[in-house]
Structure formats: C-alpha cells, structure tokens
C-alpha cells in the first residue's frame, strides 16, 4: 500500500511527513487479520523519490497496489500508478481515500491503468475487493464490493453501496510497526521526536463551507470508546513514541468524553505529550484544564477570521469573541503552546477585512498564527457553489484545489494576499512584547525549552519557506 507525497499544486512545498498514514495502517491491520500479506510504502516518511518508491514496490512484487489519495496527491498517485502498470501490466491498482470518494469515477475515466476506486471507509470494502481479485477479478464479484467503482466493457460503473464503520472499537489498531523506522514529526516547522498520530473519532457534525469533511463523512461523527483509545495510547507508549497528535476532525466536540479520556490517561499513568485541535466555541475551562493536566502541550484553534460576516459566510457557527475567550482559557488552563489558523481571500471579502483578520491574530494571546488563502477543494460547498456560479470548470479542476483569489473577480488579488500575509507574519513575530513574553514562557516550560533548543535549525528553515512562498 502506497502513500504518495503531497505536493502543493505547482508550488514549492515542504514534503516532510507530519505523521504516519493512519488510514493505510488501519487497512493493513484489517487485511493482515484476514491473512493477507501487507507492506506499506510512505513516500514522505521514508524520504523516497518516485523512482525509489517504484523500486521498493517492485521488490515486494505485489499482486495488488492500493494508493491512499487526497486531491493534493491524486495526480502524483496517478503518475506512480502508471509507472507500476508499465512495469507489470497484470498488477491491479486501487485508489482509495478522499480523492477516490469524491472523484473516483473521473479517476477511472481519465486513467485506464487504474483498475478500481473505493468510496468512503475501506475497512469493509478492501478485503472483499482483494478476495474478488484473488479469485480472478470476475466482474460479477467486483460489482458486489461495497463502495467500489470499476469498469465493465470499458464503461465506468458503481458497485454495491459503501458500508460505514459504525463500531470503531471493532477495528484493530493501526499497525505502526510497519512504519516504525520512518521519519515523522514535522509540525509547523518544528520537529517532534518519537511522534505519531492517533484517531479517536471519525467525522464532524459541522458543515463549514471551506471544508470537505462533510462530503466524505456525510456529517456523521462516530466515536471510539474511551477504554479502547486508552488501550491504543498504552500500545503507542510501549512502542517508544513520546509525542502524539490527535487527528480527529473535531476532538473537542464532546466535552464530557474528552474529560473522561484525560482522567483515564492520568489513571493509567500514560506519560505522552500530545497535541489536539479544537473549535473556539468549545473553549470550556474544565475540559482544557483536564487536557493540560493529562499532557496536552499544544492546541490548534480554527479561528479563521476576525470578521463575523466572513465567519457567517463560511458557516463556521462561531463568533469572533469566542476566539478571544477560548485562547484566554487555554492559556489559563496551562496548555504550553496555542496556535490558530486563519483564512483570507473569500469572495467579497474586502481588503480592510483581510487586514482586520491578520491584525486580529496579533490581538490574540497565541504563540503562532497559520495564515492560509481560501482554496476551493473539490467536495467542499464553496467549490460546488463556485462551480454552479460558473467560476469553476469542474472537468478542469477536479484534480486541483485552486485558491479562490486566483480566479474570482470579487476577491482581493492573490498577489496582494501573499504580500500581506508575509508582512503580518513578520509583524507578529517581531513585536517586542511578544518576544519578551515568549522568552519568559519558554524559560518557565521544560517542554517548550526542549522543543526550541532542538529545533533552532528547523525554525530557521520554516521561516525561509514562508518567506519564499509568500514573497513570490
């Protein structure tokens, strides 16, 4: 199974891996439980070029190769699939993941060397497909695979209805032993040692228009039991990991569950440092305090805008003042590092509103802002709306996620946004009171001090990347 590197469309991109491909590792565990021999190739985690990746797959000499795909690496996966098919025309190639779910029919229509795509979660689908291929790949068997997209007499067709994993506790833990020696932990320019991901729930009940999660999970959210998560955390610790990122789409959506999980971590004496994302309307002090006491060192808040009108356009369901409150409570709860994401470049967003958002980041007591230009991601409501309005040609952009400001006439120009983002990154970091405050907090925090001293080189490299990306 292959996890291709992610490229930022046509631009320089730091392809170092944040963490392991959990989706593939879940599938590997499920297949292994069924007696299927599985190997995993993670291009970024192993620092592989395309040719090295292909050579490694050839050494395995598989019958089937599955690719985990996003919009951002779908074309990379297609190129690698073509190289493998050229080597072995009898190889069966499967695309899964978000890209395959949203545009699997287009994938098969464009690329004749890709045999199948699977929509949605693959834990029930892929083992059935593997068995059908083992029996010879008769189309009568293939069409019965849940969520499959396939060809019959050259025509792209949909198979049986996809199956949803309703009880996540039934799944075996992702097999991290398959990637134990890979290089992970590159988060926002810093290197987290002995780092991995964990997922405690799937899906998100919200419907933010810039996000594609709703298209993949249909706004369902499914939770693992607290005890099941704690068991996996103990396994993670036993494998030598020390830092963990909870990759849930909405980790803080259930306040009571988060507190129970944190109490369980303390009771079992799980000593991991961990990172989580949260919504600003879930800034409950008791929950944040429980998180900090259980080892949460970093929290990411999706603030997105300093303008209520733009938040409403995104259907975020939050208020500007909630961001201020959530950050203040996280700080008071004792979470070491607070960072926040912001999005600029929406249709109709004025230059004044853009600047207001960039300045709003300075008003918040955060340690680092992440500024992004609004992208139209296939499957997100913004993408669909812009396509319906004639601003996007779906057949030309389904393998891309273009910045809206690059084509929409009612946006602040993309070049202007890039210059403003770079300007306010610099202003944010060079404020005298901010520097003094950060130095003081670092000296007080053993976690911060260790992270900073071990990442001075990475921090300079990350700043250079930002400068290169937004000054072009």
Q: What's the CATH code of the domain at 198?
A: 3.80.30.20
Backbone φ and ψ for 91, nearest 5 degrees, come out as: -65, 135
* DSSP string over 69-82: --GGGHHHHHHHHH
pLDDT at position 187: 83
- The range of the structural domain enclosing residue 210 comes to 185-471
Q: How far is CA 127 from CA 50, 92, 170, 350, in A?
A: 27, 14, 15, 51
- Residue 130 shares a structural domain with residue 240: no
Mean pLDDT of 245-271: 96
Do 196 and 109 fall within a single domain?
no
> DSSP 3-state assignment of 141?
helix
Do 20 and 120 fall within a single domain?
Answer: yes
Residue 359 maps to a domain:
yes
Residue 303 within a domain: yes
Q: Are 138 and 239 members of one domain?
A: no
Element holding 24 (H helix, E strand): helix 22-33
pLDDT, residue 190, reads 80
pLDDT of amino acid 16: 73
In-domain check, residue 167: no
In a domain, 265, yes or no: yes
Q: Are residues 313 and 389 in the same domain?
A: yes
Considering the domain architecture, whether residues 131 and 265 belong to the same structural domain is answered as no
Is residue 163 one of the residues assigned to a domain? Answer: no
Average pLDDT over residues 16-33: 93
Whether residues 238 and 154 fall in one domain = no
Mean pLDDT of 242-268: 96
User: For residues 353 and 342, is the Cβ–Cβ distance under 8 A?
Assistant: no
In which residue are the tokens 């050229």 written? 86
Concatenated DSSP letters of 177-199 = GGGTTS---EETTEE-SSEEEE-
Residues near 243 by Cβ (< 8 Å), separated by ≥ 6? Answer: 185, 192, 193, 194, 195, 196, 272, 273, 274, 275
70 domain-assigned: yes
Same domain, 221 and 109: no
- Higher local confidence (pLDDT), 221 or 15: 221
| 215/93 same-domain check | no
| Distance (Å, whole) CA 331 – CA 325 | 10
The CATH number for 132's domain is 3.40.50.280
Quickly list H helices, 46-97: 50-60, 74-87
| Residue 197: φ, ψ to 5° | -105, 160
How many domains does the chain divide into? 2
What would the pLDDT profile of 270-321 be if each residue is shown by its tens digit? 999 999 999 999 999 999 999 999 999 999 999 999 999 999 999 999 999 9
Distance CA 4, CA 308 (A): 38
Query: What digits encode the pLDDT tens for the residues 369-417?
Result: 999 999 999 999 999 999 999 999 999 999 999 999 999 999 999 999 9
Domain boundary residue, one of 158, 177, 203: 158
| Same domain? 147 vs 260 | no
193 and 115 part of one domain: no
179 part of a folded domain: no
Shared domain check, 380 and 295: yes
pLDDT band at 472 (very low <50, low <70, confident <90, very high): low
Q: Is residue 172 domain-resident?
A: no
Residue with tokens 């230059």: 351
The band of 463, judged by pLDDT with boundaries at 50, 70 and 90, is low
Question: Does pLDDT of 469 surpass 70?
Answer: no
Instruction: Please say whether the beta carbons of 302 and 326 come within 8 A.
Output: no
pLDDT reported for residue 8: 42
């Amino acid at each position: 199974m292959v996890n291709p590197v992610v490229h930022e469309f046509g631009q320089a991109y730091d392809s170092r891996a944040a963490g392991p491909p959990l989706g593939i590792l879940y599938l590997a565990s499920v297949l292994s439980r069924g007696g299927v021999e599985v190997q995993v190739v993670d291009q970024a985690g192993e620092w592989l070029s395309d040719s090295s990746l292909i050579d490694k797959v050839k050494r395995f000499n598989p019958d089937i190769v599955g690719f985990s795909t996003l919009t951002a690496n779908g074309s990379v996966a297609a190129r690698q699939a073509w190289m493998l098919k050229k080597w072995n025309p009898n190889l069966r190639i499967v695309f899964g993941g978000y890209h395959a779910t949203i545009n699997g029919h287009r994938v098969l229509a464009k690329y004749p060397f890709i045999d199948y795509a699977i929509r949605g979660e693959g834990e029930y689908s892929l083992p059935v497909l593997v068995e059908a291929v083992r029996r010879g790949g008769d189309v009568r068997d293939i069409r019965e695979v849940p969520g499959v997209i396939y060809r019959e007499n050259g025509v792209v067709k949909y198979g049986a209805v996809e199956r949803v994993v309703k009880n996540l506790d039934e799944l075996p833990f992702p097999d991290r032993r398959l990637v134990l020696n890979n290089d992970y932990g590159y988060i926002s320019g810093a290197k987290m040692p002995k780092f991995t991901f964990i997922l405690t729930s799937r899906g998100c009940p919200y419907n933010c228009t810039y996000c594609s999660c709703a298209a993949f999970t249909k706004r369902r959210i499914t939770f693992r039991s607290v005890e099941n998560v704690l068991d996996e955390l103990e396994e993670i610790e036993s494998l030598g990991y020390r830092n963990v990122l909870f990759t849930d789409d909405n980790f803080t959506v259930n306040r009571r569950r988060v507190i129970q999980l944190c109490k369980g971590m303390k009771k079992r004496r799980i000593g991991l440092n961990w990172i989580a994302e949260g919504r600003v309307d879930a800034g409950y002090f008791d929950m944040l305090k429980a998180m900090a006491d259980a080892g949460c060192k970093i929290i990411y808040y999706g603030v997105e805008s300093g303008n209520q009108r733009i938040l409403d356009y995104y259907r975020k369901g939050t208020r500007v003042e909630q961001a201020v409150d959530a950050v203040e409570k996280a700080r008071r709860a004792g979470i070491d590092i607070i960072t926040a994401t912001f999005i600029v470049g929406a249709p109709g967003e004025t230059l004044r509103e853009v600047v207001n958002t960039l300045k709003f980041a300075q008003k918040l007591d955060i340690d680092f802002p992440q500024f992004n230009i609004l992208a139209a991601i296939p499957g997100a409501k913004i993408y669909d709306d812009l396509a319906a309005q004639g601003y996007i040609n779906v057949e030309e952009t389904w393998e891309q996620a273009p910045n809206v400001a690059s084509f929409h006439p009612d946006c602040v120009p993309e070049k202007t946004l890039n210059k403003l983002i770079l300007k306010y990154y610099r202003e944010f970091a060079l404020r005298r009171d901010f520097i003094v405050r950060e130095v003081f907090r670092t000296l007080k925090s053993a976690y911060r001090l260790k992270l900073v001293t071990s990442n001075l080189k990475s921090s300079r490299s990350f700043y250079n990347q930002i400068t290169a990306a937004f000054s072009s």
